[in-house]
Amino acid sequence: MTTIIECSGIELRASSDSGNPEPLLKINTFTMKQSEQAAIMGPSGSGKSTLLHLLAGLIKPNNGSIQLLGQAIHALSEKERDHFRGANIGYIFQQFHLFPHLTALENIMMQHIITSRLSAREAKEKAQFLLDKVRLSHRVHYRAGMLSRGEQQRVAIARALFHEPKIILADEPTGNLDSKTGLDIMTYLIELCREAGQTLLVVTHDEQIGSLFSRVEHMQKLNEAYYPITEIKQ
Ligand SMILES: Nc1ncnc2c1ncn2[C@@H]1O[C@H](COP(=O)(O)OP(=O)(O)OP(=O)(O)O)[C@@H](O)[C@H]1O
């Protein structure tokens, strides 16, 4: 199976006025194969979101290599990383980040305006197809702000899948939802990614969500720079 994510010797330091920047993240190796699905769990502040930001190319490591789909993204400029992300990564946030005054359909079509590879008609058909996939065909023309939080997250998932990215990164996608809705949403996401052969990496605090994944990485083990506050106090 093709390797999709390959990180080695990653180091990220906080910028500091003291001239002695503290290490935030030190990850020896982290890899994921095509179609693989994994959850990242760990205490608050252990670097889970920071790892996703590195993988999405939102920030660059101080040292180390991040290869996504065979491309060394740590060596790209910010503009090149933006382009790479737009073409290959779907990012799902805890806070959904939808436009509340636009309909579910329009929120997904916004992706079309950014990538503009399809005609408006094709984009509309695809957005409708995706809303059907996340079982929201009855809410296509509802404004996002009028939808329940679970429905809003399903729109956000459909939006993230629109450009058929090879990699889906999700940062606490169920963190704003009650546990039943959260489990339902994660089950959709897992199924959709499996069908499409996408690599899925999900940050979660929730043990039940974690139990849906056969691979669970614990940030305390992954991140050598992380020292639990309790140990420091002792
Ligand atoms: N640019 C930055 N400069 C300095 N410190 C940072 C920066 N980005 C993140 N941090 C720090 O790195 C640590 C890890 O943050 P991160 O948000 O990745 O943790 P997390 O595991 O996702 O936590 P949570 O579960 O609470 O969201 C935190 O202590 C945070 O304050």
DSSP codes of every residue in 145-192: GGS-HHHHHHHHHHHHHTT--SEEEEESTTTTS-HHHHHHHHHHHHHH
Q: How many other C-beta atoms are found inside a 10 Å radius of the C-beta of residue 14?
A: 11
Across the range 35-41, mean pLDDT stands at 97
Positions of E strands within 14-62:
23-33, 37-41
134 pLDDT band (50/70/90 cuts)? confident
57 lines ligand 1 (CB under 6 A): no
Q: Which atom of ligand 1 is nearest to the CA of 53?
A: 18
Q: Exposed (0-12), middle (13-18) or buried (19+): which is 87, by Cβ within 10 Å? A: middle
Q: What is the pLDDT of residue 15?
A: 75
225 lines ligand 1 (CB under 6 A): no
Closest residue CA from atom 28 of ligand 1: 45
65 lines ligand 1 (CB under 6 A): no
Q: Exposed (0-12), middle (13-18) or buried (19+): which is 3, by Cβ within 10 Å? A: middle
Q: Which atom of ligand 1 is nearest to the CA of 219?
A: 21
Domains of the chain, by residue range, sit at 3-233
46 lines ligand 1 (CB under 6 A): yes
Q: Exposed (0-12), middle (13-18) or buried (19+): which is 29, by Cβ within 10 Å? A: exposed
SS3 state of residue 146? helix
228 lines ligand 1 (CB under 6 A): no
Question: What's the gap between Cα 90 and its chain centre?
Answer: 6
14 lines ligand 1 (CB under 6 A): yes
Q: What is the pLDDT of residue 233?
A: 45
Fold of domain 3-233: Rossmann fold (3.40.50)
Structure tokens at 36: 């693989």
188 pLDDT exceeds 80? Answer: yes
Tell me the percentage of the chain whose pLDDT exceeds 70. Answer: 93
ipTM: 0.94
Closest residue CA from atom 30 of ligand 1: 45
Q: Name the residue of 13, 20, 48, 218 whose CB sits within 8 Å of the most ligand 1 atoms, as the mutation to test its pocket.
A: 48
Taking only Cα atoms into account, the Rg of the chain, rounded to an integer number of angstroms, comes to 18
Torsion of CA 127, 130, 132, 138, to 10 degrees: -40
166 pLDDT band (50/70/90 cuts)? very high
Better-scored residue on pLDDT, 213 or 20: 213
Across the range 75-79, mean pLDDT stands at 95
Q: Name the residue of 24, 46, 52, 171 whose CB sits within 8 Å of the most ligand 1 atoms, as the mutation to test its pocket.
A: 24
SS3 state of residue 162? coil
